[in-house]
Copies of this chain bind each other. A is one copy, B any other.
């Protein structure tokens, strides 16, 4: 039962909590529970109230909502070191999404009382929280922008470029962070469409695909695709738009 020690250590190393005093870390730790979740298990359903939030230690959690028709849309894939649920906690409203483990995972659940105490005590912490929420908001707006004024191909390219990082140029290899099914949903596509797009990109020599691994062969050209107005008529390019 080395839980207590573990939790304090883990908390203290998170960017969000880096600069808190030992006392506050200890205080947070008392309100913190460890959660192990096996692949496929649901952490909470859409509509639940949360009076705390979660941090992923390892594993992978997907946040998604599902229509009454049973369709599901993945909003976010959260990995180690990332947190989720803060907004719901501060809002005191039912959670708009559900959370499910994509792999066996280990999380921390941090009760809001400790957070609130830390805010009262240390206004720099409040600043970090505000900045964190703001970043989240920002990326959500990016999503809205992607969904509303970019084609499916552009969304895929944008996603790949993001995974590739800002590379020096030259080919970059990386792995998709989840099954193609999940990725497709995250990008608002069907798996079929994603498959076709990846196929067509590799036909154009822009990328190479083997299973979950992808090589971005020509990052420069890829980026150009990403946001170029389709030239007046992209001649003969069934493949592209």
Please report A residues at the B interface, Cβ cutoff 8 Å: 65, 67-69, 71, 73, 75, 86-93, 96-97, 116, 119-120, 123, 126-127, 129-131, 133-138, 140-145, 147-150, 188, 227-230
Contact = CB atoms under 8 A, between A and B. Distances in A.
A149 B90 contact: no
A147 B141 CA distance: 13
A144 B142 contact: no
A138 B75 contact: no
Q: How many copies does the complex hold?
A: 2
Closest 10 CB pairs of A and B: A87-B134, A91-B134, A90-B134, A126-B126, A120-B123, A67-B149, A87-B137, A90-B130, A133-B133, A140-B140
A147 B145 contact: no
A68 B130 contact: no
B145 A65 contact: yes
12 contacts: A67-B229, A68-B229, A73-B149, A87-B137, A90-B130, A97-B141, A119-B123, A133-B134, A137-B140, A140-B140, A147-B148, A147-B188
Given A73-B145, A90-B131, 19 more contacts: A67-B150, A69-B230, A73-B144, A75-B141, A75-B144, A88-B138, A90-B133, A91-B138, A92-B131, A93-B138, A119-B126, A123-B123, A126-B130, A130-B133, A133-B134, A140-B140, A140-B141, A140-B144, A147-B188
A90 B133 CA distance: 9
B127 A119 contact: yes
Contacts of A96: 138, 141-142, 145
Contacts of A93: 138
Contacts of A92: 131
B147 A147 contact: yes
Contacts of A67: 149-150, 229
A160 to B, nearest CB: 19
A144 B227 CA distance: 21
Nearest to A93: B138
Nearest to A63: B141
Given A119-B126, A126-B126, A148 B69 contact: no
